[in-house]
């Protein structure tokens, strides 16, 4: 995202999503010592609209995407309180919206789409045989309406 002539609401939405991702990514960085410094822009409480700030955030997220393996993401989300519906949705959207996707991105999306219903399905969902339409309904918040 470039912020040149972007409405303030769009810039604010970008920062909200970046901060959600940063909550998960900074925990991954801390837990797995991935050899990257924290993102200065996201550590700051000030949301800046300068293109350099946004570009630095995007580069940092790309570097984290390259370093984080799916098993690390799985371990963090399944053993912490970070596997929330909101965080899972942000992670799925982040990986699906990337211009260039890698096999690692595919593996992460695969895991996240399996993790999402197990974390977000209503109580008793898996106590019986589940129909396709029911799974589609659970996934609708992240994938939209499914066939």
Higher confidence at residue 27 or residue 4? Answer: 27
* Residues above pLDDT 70, as percent of the chain: 96
**Averaged confidence pLDDT in the chain:** 92
Q: Are residues 137 and 74 in the same domain?
A: yes
Query: Is residue 57 scored above 50 in pLDDT?
Result: yes
**Total-model pTM:** 0.87
Domain shared by 75 and 145, yes or no: yes
Averaged pLDDT, 56-76: 98
> Considering 39, 68, 97, which residue would you say is the last residue of a domain?
68
- Between these two residues, 142 and 37, which has the higher pLDDT value? 37
Residues 76, 63 share a domain: no
Do 48 and 3 lie in one domain? The reply is: yes
Does residue 6 carry a pLDDT above 80? no
| pLDDT for residue 112 is more than 60 | yes
Structural domain including 78 reads 70-147
- Shared-domain flag, residues 44 and 111: no
Q: C-alpha distances in angstroms, 67 versus 17, 32, 72, 95?
A: 20, 10, 10, 14
DSSP 122: P
The mean pLDDT of 44-66, rounded to a whole number, is 93
Q: What is the pLDDT of residue 3?
A: 42
Total of domains in the chain: 2
Same domain for 60 and 100?
A: no
The answer to whether residues 53 and 80 belong to one domain is no
- Report the alpha-carbon angle 44-49-50, nearest 5: 95
Report the C-alpha gap between 83 and 24 in whole angstroms.
9
């Amino acid at each position: 995202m470039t912020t040149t002539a972007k409405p303030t609401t769009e810039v604010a939405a970008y920062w909200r999503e970046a901060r959600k991702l940063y909550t998960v990514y900074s925990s991954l960085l801390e837990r797995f010592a991935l050899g990257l410094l924290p993102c200065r822009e996201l550590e700051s409480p000030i949301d800046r609209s300068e293109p350099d700030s946004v570009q630095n955030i995007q580069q940092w997220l790309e570097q984290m995407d390259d370093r984080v393996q799916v098993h690390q993401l799985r371990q963090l989300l399944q053993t912490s309180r970070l596997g929330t519906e909101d965080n899972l949705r942000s992670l799925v959207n982040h990986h699906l919206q990337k211009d260039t996707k890698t096999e690692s991105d595919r593996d992460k999306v695969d895991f996240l789409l399996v993790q999402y219903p197990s974390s977000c399905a209503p109580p008793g969902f898996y106590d019986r045989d589940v129909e396709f339409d029911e799974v589609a309904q659970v996934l609708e918040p992240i994938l939209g309406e499914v066939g």
